[in-house]
A and B are shown apart, each in its own frame.
Chain A
Amino acid sequence: EAGVTQSPTHLIKTRGQQVTLRCSPISGHTSVYWYQQALGLGLQFLLWYDEGEERNRGNFPPRFSGRQFPNYSSELNVNALELEDSALYLCASSSPQGATPNTGELFFGEGSRLTVL
Protein backbone atom coordinates (compact mmCIF):
# COMPACT_ATOMS: atom_id res chain seq x y z
CA GLU A 1 0.00 0.00 0.00
CA ALA A 2 1.40 3.39 -0.97
CA GLY A 3 2.13 5.82 1.83
CA VAL A 4 1.61 9.55 1.87
CA THR A 5 3.30 11.07 -1.16
CA GLN A 6 4.40 14.65 -1.54
CA SER A 7 5.71 16.66 -4.45
CA PRO A 8 8.02 18.23 -5.26
CA THR A 9 10.66 16.85 -2.91
CA HIS A 10 12.89 19.90 -3.23
CA LEU A 11 12.40 23.31 -4.73
CA ILE A 12 14.07 26.70 -4.72
CA LYS A 13 12.19 29.96 -5.01
CA THR A 14 13.00 33.63 -4.61
CA ARG A 15 11.38 36.15 -2.32
CA GLY A 16 7.98 37.31 -3.46
CA GLN A 17 7.28 34.24 -5.56
CA GLN A 18 4.46 31.80 -4.99
CA VAL A 19 4.67 28.05 -4.44
CA THR A 20 2.24 25.14 -4.51
CA LEU A 21 3.00 21.91 -2.71
CA ARG A 22 1.03 18.74 -3.25
CA CYS A 23 0.08 15.80 -1.09
CA SER A 24 -1.66 12.51 -1.75
CA PRO A 25 -2.91 10.75 1.38
CA ILE A 26 -3.00 7.05 2.01
CA SER A 27 -5.92 5.41 0.26
CA GLY A 28 -8.98 5.56 2.49
CA HIS A 29 -7.71 8.44 4.58
CA THR A 30 -9.87 11.53 4.44
CA SER A 31 -7.93 13.83 6.77
CA VAL A 32 -4.84 15.70 5.62
CA TYR A 33 -2.59 17.78 7.85
CA TRP A 34 0.14 20.21 6.84
CA TYR A 35 3.10 21.06 9.07
CA GLN A 36 6.08 23.37 8.66
CA GLN A 37 9.41 22.23 10.03
CA ALA A 38 12.04 24.94 9.94
CA LEU A 39 15.66 23.91 10.44
CA GLY A 40 16.36 23.11 14.05
CA LEU A 41 12.78 23.63 15.10
CA GLY A 42 9.80 21.44 15.80
CA LEU A 43 6.80 20.84 13.62
CA GLN A 44 4.45 23.78 13.48
CA PHE A 45 0.86 23.01 12.64
CA LEU A 46 -0.39 24.77 9.51
CA LEU A 47 -3.70 23.33 8.34
CA TRP A 48 -6.04 20.41 8.77
CA TYR A 49 -8.47 19.31 6.08
CA ASP A 50 -11.12 16.68 6.36
CA GLU A 51 -13.74 15.75 3.78
CA GLY A 52 -12.79 18.75 1.70
CA GLU A 53 -13.27 21.24 4.51
CA GLU A 54 -10.70 23.21 6.48
CA ARG A 55 -11.12 22.01 10.08
CA ASN A 56 -8.39 23.91 11.84
CA ARG A 57 -5.64 26.37 11.14
CA GLY A 58 -2.39 27.17 12.91
CA ASN A 59 -0.89 30.56 13.67
CA PHE A 60 0.26 31.41 10.17
CA PRO A 61 -0.51 34.46 8.03
CA PRO A 62 -3.20 34.32 5.33
CA ARG A 63 -0.62 33.96 2.58
CA PHE A 64 -0.48 30.32 3.68
CA SER A 65 -3.54 28.62 2.27
CA GLY A 66 -4.62 25.30 0.92
CA ARG A 67 -7.39 23.11 -0.21
CA GLN A 68 -8.46 19.51 -0.33
CA PHE A 69 -9.85 17.94 -3.46
CA PRO A 70 -12.69 15.40 -3.81
CA ASN A 71 -10.13 12.60 -4.05
CA TYR A 72 -8.74 13.82 -0.66
CA SER A 73 -5.43 14.98 -2.10
CA SER A 74 -4.37 18.40 -0.95
CA GLU A 75 -2.41 21.45 -1.96
CA LEU A 76 -0.60 23.96 0.19
CA ASN A 77 -0.09 27.37 -1.35
CA VAL A 78 2.28 30.00 -0.06
CA ASN A 79 2.15 33.45 -1.61
CA ALA A 80 4.65 36.28 -1.40
CA LEU A 81 7.41 34.01 -0.18
CA GLU A 82 9.73 35.28 2.53
CA LEU A 83 13.16 34.01 3.50
CA GLU A 84 11.82 32.56 6.74
CA ASP A 85 9.43 30.36 4.79
CA SER A 86 12.40 28.13 4.01
CA ALA A 87 11.53 24.85 5.67
CA LEU A 88 10.48 21.27 5.25
CA TYR A 89 6.75 21.10 4.65
CA LEU A 90 5.26 17.85 5.85
CA CYS A 91 1.91 16.41 4.96
CA ALA A 92 0.23 13.72 7.01
CA SER A 93 -2.98 11.77 6.64
CA SER A 94 -5.21 9.87 8.98
CA SER A 95 -8.35 7.84 8.83
CA PRO A 96 -11.72 9.63 8.85
CA GLN A 97 -11.83 10.35 12.56
CA GLY A 98 -8.54 12.20 12.53
CA ALA A 99 -5.80 11.84 15.12
CA THR A 100 -7.85 10.53 18.02
CA PRO A 101 -7.28 7.69 20.44
CA ASN A 102 -9.73 5.63 18.41
CA THR A 103 -7.81 5.88 15.21
CA GLY A 104 -4.23 6.20 16.28
CA GLU A 105 -1.52 7.83 14.35
CA LEU A 106 -0.92 10.22 11.58
CA PHE A 107 1.08 8.92 8.68
CA PHE A 108 3.63 11.38 7.35
CA GLY A 109 5.09 11.87 3.92
CA GLU A 110 8.75 12.59 3.38
CA GLY A 111 8.14 16.28 2.93
CA SER A 112 8.84 19.04 0.44
CA ARG A 113 11.95 21.03 1.21
CA LEU A 114 11.50 24.65 0.20
CA THR A 115 14.42 27.04 0.00
CA VAL A 116 13.67 30.73 -0.45
CA LEU A 117 16.54 32.88 -1.67
Chain B
Amino acid sequence: GESVGLHLPTLSVQEGDNSIINCAYSNSASDYFIWYKQESGKGPQFIIDIRSNMDKRQGQRVTVLLNKTVKHLSLQIAATQPGDSAVYFCAEVNQGGKLIFGQGTELSVKP
Protein backbone atom coordinates (compact mmCIF):
# COMPACT_ATOMS: atom_id res chain seq x y z
CA GLY B 1 0.00 0.00 0.00
CA GLU B 2 0.99 3.64 0.09
CA SER B 3 3.63 4.43 2.60
CA VAL B 4 6.54 6.58 3.42
CA GLY B 5 9.33 4.34 4.58
CA LEU B 6 11.62 4.77 7.55
CA HIS B 7 15.16 3.45 7.72
CA LEU B 8 15.20 2.44 11.38
CA PRO B 9 12.34 1.07 13.43
CA THR B 10 14.01 1.81 16.79
CA LEU B 11 16.54 4.31 18.02
CA SER B 12 18.09 4.44 21.47
CA VAL B 13 20.04 7.51 22.57
CA GLN B 14 21.57 8.81 25.75
CA GLU B 15 19.93 11.77 27.44
CA GLY B 16 21.61 14.94 26.25
CA ASP B 17 22.77 13.50 22.96
CA ASN B 18 21.36 14.55 19.62
CA SER B 19 18.93 12.25 17.81
CA ILE B 20 18.50 11.85 14.08
CA ILE B 21 15.46 10.07 12.70
CA ASN B 22 15.40 9.35 8.99
CA CYS B 23 12.63 8.90 6.50
CA ALA B 24 12.43 8.05 2.80
CA TYR B 25 9.39 9.12 0.82
CA SER B 26 8.15 7.74 -2.44
CA ASN B 27 6.24 10.46 -4.26
CA SER B 28 8.48 13.05 -5.84
CA ALA B 29 5.40 15.20 -6.45
CA SER B 30 4.65 15.59 -2.75
CA ASP B 31 5.08 19.19 -1.77
CA TYR B 32 4.63 19.21 1.98
CA PHE B 33 6.07 17.07 4.75
CA ILE B 34 5.28 16.82 8.42
CA TRP B 35 6.84 15.11 11.42
CA TYR B 36 4.56 13.80 14.15
CA LYS B 37 5.30 12.51 17.62
CA GLN B 38 3.09 9.87 19.16
CA GLU B 39 3.43 9.12 22.83
CA SER B 40 2.08 5.88 24.22
CA GLY B 41 -1.70 5.88 24.39
CA LYS B 42 -2.06 9.22 22.64
CA GLY B 43 -2.78 10.47 19.16
CA PRO B 44 0.01 11.89 16.98
CA GLN B 45 1.06 15.45 17.65
CA PHE B 46 2.54 17.87 15.15
CA ILE B 47 6.23 18.64 15.61
CA ILE B 48 7.41 20.50 12.55
CA ASP B 49 6.69 20.79 8.86
CA ILE B 50 8.56 21.74 5.73
CA ARG B 51 7.57 22.69 2.22
CA SER B 52 9.26 21.21 -0.81
CA ASN B 53 10.78 24.56 -1.74
CA MET B 54 12.87 24.46 1.42
CA ASP B 55 15.70 22.17 2.45
CA LYS B 56 15.89 23.02 6.13
CA ARG B 57 13.61 24.30 8.81
CA GLN B 58 14.32 24.79 12.48
CA GLY B 59 12.06 24.76 15.48
CA GLN B 60 12.67 24.60 19.16
CA ARG B 61 15.32 21.88 19.59
CA VAL B 62 14.18 20.26 16.34
CA THR B 63 15.40 20.63 12.77
CA VAL B 64 13.94 19.04 9.68
CA LEU B 65 16.09 18.50 6.61
CA LEU B 66 14.69 17.73 3.19
CA ASN B 67 16.72 16.28 0.33
CA LYS B 68 14.48 16.14 -2.69
CA THR B 69 17.19 14.66 -4.89
CA VAL B 70 17.15 11.39 -2.98
CA LYS B 71 13.65 11.83 -1.51
CA HIS B 72 14.90 11.80 2.04
CA LEU B 73 13.67 13.57 5.14
CA SER B 74 15.26 13.69 8.56
CA LEU B 75 14.33 14.98 11.99
CA GLN B 76 17.09 16.12 14.29
CA ILE B 77 16.39 16.54 17.98
CA ALA B 78 19.01 18.45 19.94
CA ALA B 79 19.86 17.56 23.53
CA THR B 80 17.38 14.69 23.64
CA GLN B 81 15.37 14.45 26.84
CA PRO B 82 13.43 11.58 28.42
CA GLY B 83 10.22 13.34 27.42
CA ASP B 84 11.23 12.92 23.80
CA SER B 85 10.72 9.17 24.07
CA ALA B 86 7.93 8.35 21.63
CA VAL B 87 7.26 7.03 18.16
CA TYR B 88 8.05 9.53 15.43
CA PHE B 89 6.29 9.47 12.09
CA CYS B 90 7.10 11.36 8.97
CA ALA B 91 4.26 12.09 6.59
CA GLU B 92 3.98 13.47 3.11
CA VAL B 93 1.06 15.37 1.74
CA ASN B 94 0.28 14.63 -1.86
CA GLN B 95 -1.39 16.98 -4.26
CA GLY B 96 -4.78 15.62 -3.28
CA GLY B 97 -4.23 16.74 0.28
CA LYS B 98 -3.92 13.19 1.58
CA LEU B 99 -1.47 12.67 4.39
CA ILE B 100 0.56 9.47 3.98
CA PHE B 101 2.44 8.25 7.04
CA GLY B 102 5.53 6.12 7.39
CA GLN B 103 5.95 3.11 9.65
CA GLY B 104 7.33 5.10 12.56
CA THR B 105 10.58 5.08 14.53
CA GLU B 106 10.51 4.43 18.24
CA LEU B 107 12.90 6.73 20.06
CA SER B 108 14.05 5.59 23.47
CA VAL B 109 16.03 8.01 25.63
CA LYS B 110 18.27 6.51 28.30
CA PRO B 111 18.83 8.62 31.42
Interface residues of A, Cβ cutoff 8 Å to B: 4, 33, 35, 41-45, 48, 55-56, 58-59, 90, 92, 98-101, 104-111
Contacts and interface: CB of A to CB of B under 8 A. Distances in A.
Interface stretch (B13-21, B59-67, B68-76, B90-98): B90-98
A41 B103 CA distance: 6
Given A55-B96, A98-B97, A100-B97, A42 B32 contact: no
Contacts of A35: 101
Interface residues of B, number: 27
B4 to A, nearest CB: 8
13 contacts: A42-B101, A42-B103, A43-B101, A44-B1, A45-B101, A55-B96, A59-B2, A100-B32, A101-B51, A104-B46, A105-B46, A108-B44, A110-B41
A108 B104 contact: no
B42 A110 contact: yes
A42 B102 contact: yes
Contact of B97 (A99, A107, A110): A99
B99 interface: yes
A44 B3 CA distance: 8
B46 to A, nearest CB: 4
Contacts of B107: none
Interface of B: 1-3, 31-32, 34, 36, 41-46, 49, 51, 89, 91, 93, 96-104
Given A48-B97, A101-B32, A110 B43 contact: yes
Contact of B93 (A4, A99, A110): A99
A100 B93 CA distance: 7
Most-contacted residue by chain A among B32, B97, B102 (CB, 10 A):
B97
A108 B45 contact: yes
